[in-house]
Amino acid sequence: MGEGQPAAGKADTPGFAEALADAVARTERMLETLLPPATGDRGEAELAAAMRYAALGGGKRLRAFLTLEVAALFGETGGRSERRAERAAAAVECLHAYSLVHDDMPCMDNDDLRRGKPTVHKVWDEATAVLVGDALQTLAFAILANPATHPDGSVRARLVLRLSEAAGYAGMVGGQALDLAAESAAAAAGAPLTAGEVTRLQALKTGALIEFAAEAGAIVAGAAEADVDRVRAYAGALGEAFQIADDLLDITGTEAELGKRVGKDKGAGKATFVDILGLAGARARAAELVAEAAAQLAPYGARAARLGEAARFVVERRS
Amino acid sequence: MGEGQPAAGKADTPGFAEALADAVARTERMLETLLPPATGDRGEAELAAAMRYAALGGGKRLRAFLTLEVAALFGETGGRSERRAERAAAAVECLHAYSLVHDDMPCMDNDDLRRGKPTVHKVWDEATAVLVGDALQTLAFAILANPATHPDGSVRARLVLRLSEAAGYAGMVGGQALDLAAESAAAAAGAPLTAGEVTRLQALKTGALIEFAAEAGAIVAGAAEADVDRVRAYAGALGEAFQIADDLLDITGTEAELGKRVGKDKGAGKATFVDILGLAGARARAAELVAEAAAQLAPYGARAARLGEAARFVVERRS
């Protein structure tokens, strides 16, 4: 079976929970080798230690799971091919970890707790938090551009370009800027965001990177363009469902379950899907998105079962 | 004459000052088209305005000059080829601008003035400064990975990989971490840095990006590997000379000339080349480095005259 063809189904396919745990372990191992060792001159060793603290040993690794699972769907299994997908997954997780470190800073969302641990600026200081985020962003691009990620330079450049689009002004950073502006407007009793504005804000802030995570798996596996588009659409629906679930958990979850502060969105005057749609409306919209995600996967049948489960997982999770 | 061959000398070749002014104008025009327009929803427009403020209309553009001049040396002149070098130069300047915005933040070097203007966190706020730096770093990689920068994907991926090495943990960010650690050690009356440590710190913090600026020009022009190595060595010597001159200017310059605070290194307890070598020793070492840079250019004869002048310029400048 050639690269880029959907893999044949297996009778002993593991379930979603098992596959997610496997993605966590594989991503952790790959990140271990890609992050700098905490050695070197004073300053360097501390920076490396803080980068490792931020990127290792925490998080659901949902994005990494999407990269690995989509790559497997399109044939990237076994030996070197799996390593390519693992490298792409590690790059996505470095980018994600950088965004959390910067977003948690006092001048941004001012959070002391992340993934159940004190945030980087609490353990070290704000200067270290700035540098850790900066270096993790750089590392994400370094991983993708390295020939070990794919032998074809145009594939590597495509991964870099798409990640940069998902991460930058027209993606994640732009979404964070919209979010901060919405908070300021709320504090000044300005007009609240509309449903369309919240949807767009979240699509930029979290959706773009989740879409790239799935897309990267298809690209490293050499999937056809129609399949790349299809998994991107799947991940877009999943990403929006993920954010609605986040807004619901911020109201219904506990700090112990989530490993981060709860009720903070309300406190910060952030516009959430729950504010706009109500609790029942938000839950209904999340269910709709899960169905949309599943519809995108229909052509792949049972082989995409775990990706379908992933969409259900993001709305049913307790943390 | 094919790509990658040194260009033939011209009788009416402009001098260094003219070429530097030309690099400033071309880089400014290219950045104008690559930076996002200051439009869009609340938050986005402000972010774009702050990115433009940080990246446009200031700076010597020495790095951009190196990229453009080296590309011209190896034959990248005329039409589309020049645009490739301009895009690479713009990427380097975005990366440089990002580092200045983050380094100026209160938790880092705490500077209010940069390129004669109030710093981003003074005009906007710290959150905006974090996001502006983040988005400018992403943009640098987006520019290099775009097919408009070079038709060959492996060339684009190589540019991304080398910039990421120059910018990240093993380059600029690592150097900044060493610098902050050295300040803390000085504040705690720890051992001062040795000459070797200061040289290594500066090679990471500023040297690596200056080397990449020259290297990128050679890479987009399709220069032979030996030539890529040679211009990198040239730029390494120039970069060290540049930093020694910076340390000298911090003592002998004025704020009006420099457009930034002076005497700050001493105040911050930073180890400088002047501390270690003395004023006369630092001047002598800078002259030695200019000669080293010139030696690397010897094989190119008169065609590299402006690059030789650039090395002299960095040590003779008043700002």
Q: Compute the average pLDDT of residues A230-235.
A: 98
pLDDT averaged over every residue in chain B: 90
A182–B127 CB contact, under 8 Å? no
Q: Is the pTM of this model over 0.90?
A: yes
- A14-53 tens-digit pLDDT: 789 999 999 999 999 999 999 999 987 788 999 999 999 9
CA dist B206 and B296 (Å) reads 20
Enclosing H/E stretch for A40: none
Residue B255's pLDDT band, with cuts at 50, 70 and 90, is low
Residue of A267 and B259 predicted with greater confidence: B259
Asked, for residue A158, whether it belongs to a domain, the answer is: yes
CA dist A36 and A33 (Å) reads 8
Pairs of residues, one from chain A and one from chain B, whose beta carbons lie less than 8 Å apart: 190
B181–A127 CB contact, under 8 Å? no
Whether B6 shows a pLDDT value over 50: the answer reads: no
Asked, for residue B216, whether it belongs to a domain, the answer is: yes
B138–A43 CB contact, under 8 Å? no
CATH number for the domain harbouring residue B183: 1.10.600.10
B141 contact residues in A (CB cutoff 8 A) = 141, 160, 164
CB-closest option in A36, A153, A181 to B42: A181
Asked, for residue B45, whether it belongs to a domain, the answer is: yes
A102–B42 CB contact, under 8 Å? no
CA dist B268 and B275 (Å) reads 13
B164–A43 CB contact, under 8 Å? no
- For position A115, what pLDDT does the model report? 86
Asked, for residue B235, whether it belongs to a domain, the answer is: yes
Residue numbers of the domain that contains A47 = 16-316
Q: Which residue of B has its CA nearest to A105?
A: B127
- B78-130 tens-digit pLDDT: 666 789 999 999 999 999 999 999 999 999 999 999 988 999 999 999 999 99
B108 contact residues in A (CB cutoff 8 A) = 127, 130
Asked, for residue A8, whether it belongs to a domain, the answer is: no
Restricting to B residues 153-182, those with a Cβ less than 8 Å away from any Cβ of A are: 153-158, 160-161, 164-165, 167-170, 173-174, 176-182
Residue of A116 and A120 predicted with greater confidence: A120
Rg of chain B's alpha carbons, rounded to an integer? 19
**CA neighbor of B134 nearest in space, from B172, B102, B177:** B102
Whether A256 shows a pLDDT value over 80: the answer reads: no
CA dist B180 and B109 (Å) reads 9
- A105-114 tens-digit pLDDT: 999 999 999 9
- For position B194, what pLDDT does the model report? 85
Q: How far is A111 from chain B (nearest CA, A)?
A: 14
The CA-based angle B252-B254-B257, given to 5 degrees, is 120
Sequence letter at residue B118: P
- For position B272, what pLDDT does the model report? 84
Q: What is the secondary structure of A233-256 as a DSSP string?
A: HHHHHHHHHHHHHHHHHHHH--HH
CB-CB contact of A63 with A209 (8 Å): yes
CB-closest option in A48, A139, A164 to B138: A164
Asked, for residue A67, whether it belongs to a domain, the answer is: yes
Whether A3 shows a pLDDT value over 50: the answer reads: no
Lowest pLDDT segment from A42-46, A304-308, B49-53, B293-297: A42-46
- For position B47, what pLDDT does the model report? 97
Lowest pLDDT segment from A38-42, A293-297, B165-169: A38-42
Whether B9 shows a pLDDT value over 50: the answer reads: no
Asked, for residue B9, whether it belongs to a domain, the answer is: no
Asked, for residue A4, whether it belongs to a domain, the answer is: no
User: What's the domain count of chain A?
Assistant: 1
